[in-house]
Amino acid sequence: MTDNKVNAKSVNEKVISPAVIKRLPRYYRYLGDLLKNDVVRISSKELSQKMNVTASQIRQDLNNFGGFGQQGYGYNVEFLYNEMGRILGLDRTNNIIIIGAGNLGQALANNQDFDSNGFKIIGLFDVNPRLIGMTVRGVEVYDIDMLEDFLSKNEVMIAALTLPKNKATKIAGELVDLGIKALWNFAPVDLNLPDDVIVENVHLSESIMTLSYRIHSKNL
């Protein structure tokens, strides 16, 4: 659907398949663990054994971005980690707001994994007077009515939607009208938004149904 709307800058870029993109964060995670354990270099074979994928898949995936490996040497872990971080956009700060300060919104705000990867939660928003004014790890819960004002004063890259399905569609439209270009959607609904808005869905109900399918199809 977005194929027609590729902008001039990206015409010459190689199109990376969604399957490869989905694997990048996992490479980044493994490389981070290796780095913490002071591993300086690793061959695609060793990395493939750790990650339980084939060495040829690793080489193919990384070749999408120029390779990074040297014949007979393997990969320099720190270099590859940093390059992977740059590709993932983790070398800058990505400000996030969370719409819906219930358990799930609070769980995201409390997740320290995000901090180390350049994601910074700068505000939560809710309609519930009992939640408004409280702080989660130092981040304030604001009245949803403050959203427009907040967005005019802060640069926000991503809005996470952790609110019920029946409210998500309306607030998503409002966020887009206010200039938000990327939504991390936890509500069990497909958001139909303009093509230039990026939506990443985390559909928990669908995830557990997939698990249920896998359980019961084994026992049929």
**Site residue total, its own copies (CB under 8 A):** 62
Exactly one of 3, 4, 8, 9 binds its own copies (CB under 8 A); that residue is 9
CA distances from 66 to 80, 142, 177, 198, 219 (A): 11, 44, 37, 25, 45
Exactly one of 22, 36, 130, 153 binds its own copies (CB under 8 A); that residue is 22
From 55-63, 66-74, 168-176, 211-219, span contacting its own copies (CB under 8 A): 211-219
DSSP string, 51-110: HTS-HHHHHHHHHTTT---BTTTBEEHHHHHHHHHHHTTTTS-EEEEEE--SHHHHHHHH
CA distances from 30 to 36, 54, 158 (A): 10, 15, 25
Half-sphere exposure of 16 (CA within 13 A, CB side): 17
Instruction: Give me the numbers of helices (H) and strands (E) for the chain, helices first please.
Output: 8, 9
Choose among 77, 72, 84, 79: nearest CA to 47.
77
Q: How far is the CB of 75 from its own copies (least distance, A)?
A: 19
Q: Confirm or reject binding of residue 166 to its own copies (CB under 8 A).
A: no
Q: Confirm or reject binding of residue 40 to its own copies (CB under 8 A).
A: no
From 38-46, 71-79, 99-107, 168-176, span contacting its own copies (CB under 8 A): 99-107
* Radius of gyration of the chain, Cα coordinates, nearest whole angstrom: 20
Q: Confirm or reject binding of residue 197 to its own copies (CB under 8 A).
A: no
Exactly one of 106, 126, 144, 168 binds its own copies (CB under 8 A); that residue is 106
Q: How far apart (Å, rounded) are the C-alpha atoms in residues 101 and 163?
A: 8
C-beta of 19 vs 73, nearer to its own copies? 19
Site for its own copies in 170-189 (CB under 8 A): 181-182, 184, 188
C-beta of 70 vs 192, nearer to its own copies? 192
Q: Residues in the site for its own copies, rule: CB under 8 A?
A: 1, 7, 9-10, 13, 16, 21-22, 24-26, 28-29, 51-52, 87-90, 92, 94, 102-104, 106-108, 110-111, 113-114, 117-119, 157-158, 181-182, 184, 188, 190, 192, 198, 200, 202-218, 220
